[in-house]
Amino acid sequence: MSSFQLLMEGFAAALTPVNLLYALVGVTLGTLVGVLPGIGPAMTVALLLPITFTVPPASAFIMFAGIYYGGMYGGSTTSILLNTPGESASMITALEGNKMARRGRAAQALATAAIGSFVAGTIATGLLVVAAPLVVDFAIGFGPEDYFALAILAFVGVSAVLSRSLVRGLAALGLGLVIGLIGIDQQTGQARLTLGVPQLLDGIDVVIVAVGLFALGEALYVASRLRHATPEVVPVGRAWMGRSDWARSWKPWLRGTAFGFPFGALPGGGAEIPTFLSYATEKKLARGVAREEYGKGAIEGVAGPEAANNASAAGTLVPLLTLGLPTSATAAILLAAFQQYGLQPGPQLFDHNPALVWGMIASLFVGNTMLLVLNLPLAPLWARVLRVPRPYLYAGIIVFAALGVYALNGTVVDLVVLFVLGLLGFAMRRFGLPIAPAVIGMILGPMAEIQLRRALAIGAGDVTVLVQSPIAVVLLLLSLGALLTPLVRRLAERRELAPTPTRGNQPARKD
């Protein structure tokens, strides 16, 4: 069947009354939690992950699609009204968005963010429909050595690109790989790192790791740094845009989409780079009034980065669904959700579960439309949510996370592991270790180990089997390039900052 026919079947599944209800619940919860200060999309998805366990898989992922996009939009609301980005990708939105709000144009800033998110999400999801089958056809021929090289690329890309320090990124990755080793070795049957606790023989559930490191660790970290006082929220009416606002926004929406989608699909690409490029491009292209408003609240500085942010969110689903490769922290949480249902994203997922995959893709269109209809009139309500006192907010997050994890197996061991991982996540944030490499290492580590063993078994122990495939060679070279790029950049910066040597120690003579 063609991609169009499969997408139509996906719409038939997504538009059933039950799944429409799940999509509505997803976008509402995603926006409600994502709009809270200091909470980004990754933490939103991790926090709401346990509530989907009693939901059928197809409905659960339709709901998660809504949570994903809802969390993205909620972050822009926090940035504009509170100047508190929920994630690094929303920092650019806060630059101009909060200044617009301070000038009494909060409604216009929220409107261009909402409509830009809708435009970018719709276009990027259409590109996902086109790109996903092509990547699947390419990936069907992957062997064990290719999948191992792909995992290495994911490890290096996320550790080197998404981290401020290569060493810290690799250290966080190592922690994740160690967590992934806990449990019974699937090939030898030996227990590893279980400390004699029977409940750890099956390993640590990915949901506990995601909720502990992201939701609990982030909540403890943000609560330790922010004041307990109620934040000052800029008042806002119903979101709307005038004719001049439309004229100034539609081109940045399209350019931001063009920046965001390809970067989101790259390992380690993320949303930070395309949002910055979009902002820089719009600032360079600004003329007349727009040029004067930059730094004071230019609507182009909100429209472009928000479109890039949401387009990159759709772009991350291309490698996630087709290769099982998470390229961002939120994608890693979504991968954990798939594994919770016994599903492994990749080429076989499109063959074995087409209704689930295409239903989820179709629900992205549906959820995007729901977000636009829901958020334009409800902007004043989200502004009131921002006034929740901080102590109640973060105490509620911790209680909700504990209840969700305890509901998994009903054991105290899970709660102990949750709080240990929460403290670990807090310490990592405190000392500058990124969370995303740890989660991706924990999820992809066992897969990389299995593929490595399979490749070595096929090659009778010959290590050169890992570089006999052209695909594996290309992926390993890309990994090497991602590993060396930060080092080369740092050396170049040191050379630029080094003082220019002078001839000898004698002062220059005056002529």
**DSSP label of 195:** T
What is the pLDDT, as a whole number, of residue 257?
Answer: 92
What is the pLDDT, as a whole number, of residue 264?
Answer: 80
Mean pLDDT, the chain, rounded, equals: 81
Is the whole-model pTM more than 0.85? Answer: no
Mean pLDDT throughout 85-101?
77
Please list, residue by residue across 10-29, b when 16 or more beta carbons sit within 10 angstroms of its beta carbon and e when fewer do: bbebbeeeebbebbbbbbbb
Residue 192 exposed, middle or buried by CB count within 10 Å (0-12, 13-18, 19+): middle
In the beta sheet, which residues pair with residue 183?
A: 192
**pLDDT-based confidence at 500, cuts 50/70/90?**
low
Q: What CA–CA distance (Å, rounded) separates 106 from 237? A: 8
Radius of gyration of the chain (CA): 24
Q: For residue 502, is pLDDT > 70?
A: no
What is the pLDDT, as a whole number, of residue 196?
Answer: 81
What is the pLDDT, as a whole number, of residue 137?
Answer: 78
What is the pLDDT, as a whole number, of residue 163?
Answer: 60
Q: For residue 510, is pLDDT > 60?
A: no
Residue from 116, 118, 112 nearest 299 by CA? 112
Q: For residue 458, is pLDDT > 80?
A: yes
Mean pLDDT throughout 348-370?
86
Least confident piece of the model among 115-124, 355-364, 386-395: 386-395
- What share of the chain in percent tops pLDDT 70? 90
Residue from 436, 419, 403, 14 nearest 216 by CA? 419
Q: For residue 39, is pLDDT > 80?
A: no
Q: For residue 232, is pLDDT > 70?
A: no
What is the pLDDT, as a whole number, of residue 423?
Answer: 92
What is the pLDDT, as a whole number, of residue 254?
Answer: 92
Written as one letter, the residue type at 237 is G
pLDDT digits 0-9 by tens, 430-448 = 888 888 788 878 878 888 8
pLDDT digits 0-9 by tens, 380-407 = 777 777 777 777 777 887 887 888 788 7
- What share of the chain in percent tops pLDDT 90? 4
User: Which of the given ranges, 43-47, 246-250, 496-500, has the highest pLDDT on average?
Assistant: 246-250
Is residue 166 a contact partner of residue 486, using CB atoms and an 8 Å limit?
yes
Q: For residue 499, is pLDDT > 70?
A: no
Residue from 361, 327, 355, 349 nearest 131 by CA? 361
Least confident piece of the model among 133-142, 228-237, 323-332, 395-404: 228-237
DSSP-based three-state secondary structure for 192: strand
**DSSP label of 334:** H
pLDDT digits 0-9 by tens, 241-268 = 888 888 888 889 999 999 889 888 776 5
CB neighbourhood size of 470 (10 A) = 9
Residue 120 or residue 4, greater confidence: 120
Q: What CA–CA distance (Å, rounded) separates 5 from 407? A: 39
DSSP-based three-state secondary structure for 2: coil
**DSSP label of 465:** G
Q: What CA–CA distance (Å, rounded) separates 65 from 362? A: 10
What is the pLDDT, as a whole number, of residue 123?
Answer: 92
